[in-house]
Structure 1
Amino acid sequence: MRWDIFCKVIDNHGDAGVCWRLARGLAAGGETVRLWIDDPSALAWMAPGGCKGVEIVTWNRRDAAQRAAAGPPPDVLIEAFGCDPEPELIARFAEPVRPGGARRVWINLEYLSAEPYVERLHGLPSPVFKGPGTSLTKHFFYPGFTPATGGLLREGDLLERRQRFDRAAWLAQQGIAWHGERLVCLFCYEPLALDALLAQFESAGEPTHLLVTAGRAARALPPGPARRGALSITWLPHLPQTDFDHLLWACDLNFVRGEDSLVRALWAGSPFVWQIYAQDDDAHHTKLGAFLDWLEAPPSLRRFHHLWNGMAEGELPALDDAALASWGAACAAARACLLAQDDLLTRLLRFVAQKS
């Protein structure tokens, strides 16, 4: 089938990351995909070389919508995160289907959450009452952590690749000197508790090597002394999605942020701390709480999350072997639960087949 995925990059490339993984997964299964993205610049490092079967359309080019409207409409239109596709494309999509042809399907891909409403709203129809899409119906598709949701993106060979991964070889390829010390990935916004975390690493009884990702994490921890007590630091360049996965696989503890990296941290199977995207009305507090409940996070991991996300005050729990072991056990159990479920792409294809 022909798929159009519409994506607007808000600020931190997470939307682009999710949409690219989805587009790549569809293309790997033989689908034809156009990814409409208003700012494709991040794909230069996120997905160098592109992907066979995926066409990148710069959404805000003056002639893009007109040129696309001149061709056949997609069989499936995915509106990622409520981004309002171009009216010309909606009008083309709304044209009558040839007699005997499959119905076109309009999917509203929503944000990931573990909150109870996700199961209630997943798959529900949303009739369109105005604009060129009047009389059409969108369907909500909610990623989630239970069988009653849309699931999580996961490649078919992900676990096999994870098992074959050679940490030492990958680190050497990246030019990262590693001598067996604990490795920690830092992919964050600007957490107020960052200085406390660094102080804990610096004074710890065992060495820690912190791998700082490019972008906001590097701005939160700008380059400076590479050695600070028991802490050594490496600042990384922007990594392609595949190597970002490898980074999470290589580390003993992962600090991640947003949506795409949370999912990838779950698949990595190592202990992790999630910095959730903050919302003005503090709705992210409830969202984080629902996720920690689903994870069955031990008390120290829950406490660390609250402090890391600015939802509490006090000292960070110690990142000793006992704490990381209990965190790792919770993460491993959560991953096993997710692996027993169908992935998002499998559920999406099944849903589209039912609606078309």
Structure 2
Amino acid sequence: MVCFGTRMVFQAPCTQLHLQILKMKDITVLCKVVDNYGDIGFVYRLTREISRRRPELRLRIVVSNLSSFAAMAPGLDAKKARQEYNGNLVLDWNNEEICTKEFTENPPEIIFECFQCGRPEWLENLLFSKENPPEHTVQIVNVEYLTAEDWADDFHLLKSGTRSAKVKKINFMPGFTARTGGLVLDSHFMKCLEDKDYAIKTLQKGLPEPTGRTIAESVSDSSIFPVLIFSYPRDFSGIISGLAQFQKAQKKKNPRFTVCIFAANGISLEPLIESHRNAGEPFPLIRLPYISQRTWDALLTLTKFNLIRGEDSFSRACLSGIPFLWHAYPQENEFQLVKTRAVLSRIEPFFGGQKKIFENYASLTQIYNRTPGKDTDADSQEAMNDYPESAEFTEAKRKSSESTLFCNLLLEYDTLSTACKDFSRSLISNGDLAEHLLSYCDTLDFSR
């Protein structure tokens, strides 16, 4: 009761009834698999971390390619359209009947649309039905692709329209600055980073023998330089040659020194093996089986150099503090070169005054990402021209350019490693994407 002069007014408690905001109980995560493992890898990691932080939340993970999901998630059945997995519900995006039944009986509250995947037709029909519109507001969060481009800062938390007042949408940007949502700092990956013994045990547990034992010994031997390669198909002859030159130089100081490649299973495996064979197999190459995400994380944190592709492995490489080359998803007019240049601009400050070493790293990155036979547009060519060696790139010189740049870069490994570690620390200081997403969702109102 509140008094205004002689007049008395009764007020309901602000935590009750009129001002009540319904607490979220459910999050639906949509993933349309484009890159075999990059997008689903991100979704798997994000949902695991959300479940760890908020075990009371019900997650429904809707995936267009369960086979890709099952390849990294032990125990998931790629043939089951509806299944419980680690306390969450996994659904086949393509099974309209099962999904329509599930979401009719249990309407969604929050939907994460990952990487502009859009919505399946059955969900579109439910959300925008004129006969049976949603009872409460549905909140869609478009979790965008990871980009280092400047526009990510301005796009983060920007509202987007839909064709219904009952369906709200906002854009949420993973990223490299404090003005974005950051990267997923899941507990398992961070523990692998901080505890080498834990990572080695995880590796041995997740790999069959004798591969597990061989790799564990390799990452523990200071005379071995382990290199993980997980890429899109390409000619790896320049990379193999650069590693061989580096090995030759190091053997003068340590006769036992040897490079060892861990070759990931997938679309880059056969061309990598062919390039290695054509070079006379100058060092060991270990073929990896398909492995779980937890095992992959452990391996990626134990190497000396990572050549990776995809959304998820790229973010892990950035966080690892280990030197890496990112093979960006090839795009029309070579626009991936603009993407890689943006990443390079984020890393450059951490090289301090070592301008030449950074320019070698940047040139190698751009040449590594150039697609043979593809024309560039003005923006892509400008991204190549920003760095001395890549500006002079010709296809005829690809192998020699890659080989020389890679060898010279590895000979400056300590400087490169320090820059990558400092870059990693800056990313970790931005906080966890999963936590930032949950904090944002806590502010949403579902009562209208």
Provide the TM-score with structure 1 as the length reference. 0.89
Is residue 288 of structure 2 the alignment partner of residue 199 of structure 1? no
CA distance in structure 2 between the aligned counterparts of 1:96 and 1:183, rounded to whole angstroms: 54
Q: Which has the larger radius of gyration?
A: 2
Is residue 78 of structure 2 the alignment partner of residue 77 of structure 1? no
CA distance in structure 1 between the aligned counterparts of 2:47 and 2:285, rounded to whole angstroms: 34
CA distance in structure 1 between the aligned counterparts of 2:330 and 2:347, rounded to whole angstroms: 20
Spell out the pairing of 1:343-354 with structure 2 (5 A cutoff).
Answer: 343-354=432-443
CA distance in structure 2 between the aligned counterparts of 1:8 and 1:235, rounded to whole angstroms: 29
Amino acid at match of 2:361: L
Flag structure 1 segments of 5+ consecutive residues without an equivalent.
Answer: none
Amino acid at match of 1:285: L
| Secondary structure of the structure 2 residue equivalent to 1:176 | helix
**Equivalent residue in structure 2 for 1:176, among 214, 219, 234:** 214
Query: Deviations 1:45-73 (Å, cap 9, x if unpaired)?
Result: 20113542221101112412321233221
**Equivalent residue in structure 2 for 1:281, among 309, 333, 353:** 333
- Aligned residues, how many? 348
Is residue 373 of structure 2 the alignment partner of residue 342 of structure 1? no
User: Cα distance, 1:112 vs. partner?
Assistant: 0.7
Could you tell me whether the CA contact under 8 Å between 1:226 and 1:233 is conserved in 2? no
The 1:121–1:252 alpha-carbon spacing in structure 2 relative to 1, beyond 3 Å, is same
CA distance in structure 2 between the aligned counterparts of 1:300 and 1:150, rounded to whole angstroms: 30
CA distance in structure 2 between the aligned counterparts of 1:325 and 1:294, rounded to whole angstroms: 19
| Secondary structure of the structure 1 residue equivalent to 2:105 | coil
Query: Deviations 1:296-350 (Å, cap 9, x if unpaired)?
Result: 1622211210121125424121256542222211111111111212210111111
**Equivalent residue in structure 1 for 2:174, among 143, 151, 167:** 143
Could you tell me whether the CA contact under 8 Å between 1:69 and 1:88 is conserved in 2? no
**Equivalent residue in structure 2 for 1:43, among 69, 83, 95:** 69
Spell out the pairing of 1:318-337 with structure 2 (5 A cutoff).
Answer: 318-319=407-408, 321-337=410-426
Could you tell me whether the CA contact under 8 Å between 1:127 and 1:135 is conserved in 2? no
| Secondary structure of the structure 1 residue equivalent to 2:417 | helix
The 1:263–1:285 alpha-carbon spacing in structure 2 relative to 1, beyond 3 Å, is same
Could you tell me whether the CA contact under 8 Å between 2:61 and 2:90 is conserved in 1? yes
Could you tell me whether the CA contact under 8 Å between 2:138 and 2:168 is conserved in 1? no
CA distance in structure 2 between the aligned counterparts of 1:350 and 1:335, rounded to whole angstroms: 23
CA distance in structure 1 between the aligned counterparts of 2:33 and 2:330, rounded to whole angstroms: 17
| Secondary structure of the structure 1 residue equivalent to 2:333 | coil
Root-mean-square deviation (CA), in Å? 2.4
Amino acid at match of 2:51: A
User: Cα distance, 1:199 vs. partner?
Assistant: 1.8
Match of 2:379 in 1: none
Higher mean C-alpha deviation, range 173-182 or range 29-38? 173-182
CA distance in structure 1 between the aligned counterparts of 2:437 and 2:368, rounded to whole angstroms: 34
Could you tell me whether the CA contact under 8 Å between 2:189 and 2:297 is conserved in 1? no
Greater share of residues in helix = 2
Percent identical among aligned pairs is 25
Is residue 261 of structure 2 the alignment partner of residue 218 of structure 1? no
Query: Deviations 1:242-284 (Å, cap 9, x if unpaired)?
Result: 1111111121000011211111112222111111111103322
Match of 1:15 in 2: 39
Could you tell me whether the CA contact under 8 Å between 2:240 and 2:279 is conserved in 1? no
Amino acid at match of 1:214: N
